[in-house]
Structure formats: C-alpha cells, structure tokens
A and B are shown apart, each in its own frame.
Chain A
C-alpha cells in the first residue's frame, strides 16, 4: 500500500469545468510535488512545495493552481483545461531541503481525461 494517497483515481471533465485533485501523505515529509505523466513518457515536474511554501513552478499554465493547506495535504485545482492536459497526475513527497537528493514516494496517481 502506498503511503501517499491520491483522490480521485479517475476524473473526466469538460473544458469548462472546475475540479480538484487531492493528495495526502502521513510520512512526515515536508516537501510535496505534482508531476504530470503522459503515456510512455517520464514524469514531468510541475510544482514543488517545501515546508508548505511553493518553491518551484516549472512554468505551468495558470489553469493549474496548486495549494498546500498543511504539511500533509496537497491539492491541484483545475480550471478550463484542454484535451492535451489529459494525463496521469502524480503526487509525491520527500524530505526537504535538498530537493534533488531526496527519494520520492509517489502516490498511485489521478488519471485525468479532458473532453
């Protein structure tokens, strides 16, 4: 069982909808990440939160809006998405502060389809 829980597992939304992806970890990690993964591609970093503060935004379009309410929770708010945004969205956590040096624990992902 993964120690990083993501909901929902599957989401279908229209281009005008607003939805949210949720992630929760109980590992005591203080860095949390959102990755996007297209089929047969590696995970692509979107955002990093360290100690509940946004530390990295990899030039992600504003239709994706991250939020970190506390050290255990991470949300990704979705609005006015495009069909090309359909992908597996992975949440991960690790110990900060050396972001690149720390091992990532991934959640099972939320598979998003935008119609």
Chain B
C-alpha cells in the first residue's frame, strides 16, 4: 500500500533558527496536505498542494510539492515558540484515503 515517509522524526531548534521537514511518498500523489498538532491538541489543517512544483507561503511557512508529485517539504523561517508542535504531512492518490506521515515533532527553545 501507499507509504508516506517523513523526516526528521524530531527537531529541537533555538528560537530564530529555521526548520524544515520532508515527506516522500512511494507513489505519485494527487494531493498532499499538511497539518499541525500542538501538544495536547488535535491536528489542524495548514495547507493543501495539488500541482506539480507548487509553492505556497503562509507568513513564515513555505510549502513545496515536488515536480514528480512524490515529495513535499515544509520550511519555517525564523522559528518562534508558538511553532512548537508536531507537523504531519498526509498524501492521497486518486480516490484513496489520506495516508499520514509519522510526523516531525518541533521543539523551540527561547
């Protein structure tokens, strides 16, 4: 079945440093979504990418979808303590359900 690998599993940065998490799929995706889950919270939708090579920005967050639609990344510029949480990518092919990556837990020290 479809697999979505996500790295790193965990990252601890100093406030102000940049952060990137990467997702790779074993199959071509029709779309990839990113969710953020704060400690003790629930996943909250951040963005959806559907086009090959797509790049979207939300303030300090930059999301990319690879040309082959098999990989994606989330980059945070100048992290803040409010960025703490686990970031999940989730991809789907055709009419399949979303497959979640294992997530990257981000810790930010002030």
A contacts, CB < 8 Å to B: 2, 40-45, 48, 56, 88, 90, 98-101, 103-109
Contact = CB atoms under 8 A, between A and B. Distances in A.
A108 B41 contact: yes
Nearest to A100: B92
B98 interface: yes
Given A88-B42, A100-B97, 4 more contacts: A41-B102, A101-B31, A103-B33, A104-B45
Nearest to B48: A103
B102 A42 contact: yes
Interface residues of B, number: 24
Contact of B94 (A48, A90, A100): A100
Top 8 A-B pairs ranked by shortest CB distance?
A: A100-B92, A42-B100, A106-B42, A100-B96, A106-B43, A100-B97, A109-B42, A103-B45
A42 B45 contact: no
A2 B45 CA distance: 12
A106 B105 contact: no
A43 B93 contact: no
A2 B101 CA distance: 23
A88 B39 CA distance: 13
A65 to B, nearest CB: 20
B97 A90 contact: no
A48 B92 CA distance: 15
Contacts of A88: 42
Contacts of B100: 42-44
B102 to A, nearest CB: 6
